[in-house]
Amino acid sequence: MVLRAGMLWLAGNPRAEGLVRRLPVTQPLVNRFVAGERVEDALSAATAIHERGLHYTLDLLGENAADASRATEAGQAYIDLLDRIQAAGLPGNISIKLTMLGLDISDDLAWQNLEAIVRKASELGMFVRVDTEGSPYTERTIALFRRIHDLYPDAVGIVLQSYLYRTDSDLDEMITRRARVRIVKGAYKEPETVAYPHKSDVDAAFRRHIERLLEDGNYPAIATHDEAIIGMAKGYALRLGIDRSRFEFQMLYGIRRDRQEALAAEGYNVRVYVPYGTSWYPYFMRRLAERPANLLFILRQLVRG
């Protein structure tokens, strides 16, 4: 737990980022978790996933735009990405973070960019997933989601994080409004005042939220690589007679490809979350924090360097 907390702190440390980017040993690990830096790399990965009989969502990496021009550029990049997906004939989704669209600058700026992206997706018959980030952004993110979902209910969904205490009530709201939810455990470092500090409590909340979504949710997405959680979700759906077409599993690019394909072969919908872009460092460090063997390898290289 201490090691994970340290890695999450390093995810926001510019000096550590410079060191990690310069390490020759880093790139093979980055390539495992990130499809590449260009949109062409992302589309190539999406094509391969589609050919394996799986679904995908593309995420242009980037967080915390510091000025309005960068936020607007990010919004346009997503609109261009939707056009590229359409032109490639690859049915798929996109995932976005509101801090990339200007949430640190103003809610109005983030809204302008969000509305333009989702309006475009709606016109193309595509789908946008709004990621939730650290807890300081949760309430503002959900407030903007309410507005966009009121306008384009079929084109946009939300991510909720089970480790936050507030998620039980947020989940009730999203089920009531028939919003599509991706449920995750949560990957940010959070204080005990807002999030469960112990893994057992997080796991219990995650199971509770999955059961609630399977019973009453609108095509929920269960994002996990946890074998016990996957088995629980499958068993719960089976006992309640919930058809496999009514929900999907989501997994990260580069992780458990064998399990992705096995679930698809069993008739489950499986979607692969495909990140790409030059701003890969924070995402990469959060993935390392979840995998101690990779994490320790990088730390050893940093010490030697």
Catalytic residues: 131, 182
Single-letter amino acid, residue 283: Y
Contact 255, 29 (CB under 8 A): no
The DSSP output letter for 214 is H
Single-letter amino acid, residue 49: I
Distance CA 228, CA 187 (A): 19
Phi, psi of 157 (to 5 degrees): -135, 175
Single-letter amino acid, residue 29: L
Classify each residue of 242-265 as buried b or exposed e, where b means 16 or more C-beta atoms within 10 Å of its C-beta: eeeeebbbbbbbbbeeeebeebbe
Residues 6+ apart with CB under 8 A from 303: none
In this structure, what token pair is assigned to residue 240?
């309640």
Which residue do the tokens 């096995």 mark?
262
Contact 57, 271 (CB under 8 A): yes
Contact 157, 129 (CB under 8 A): yes
In this structure, what token pair is assigned to residue 303?
């010490």
Distances (CA, A) of 253 to 35, 49, 72, 228: 8, 9, 27, 20
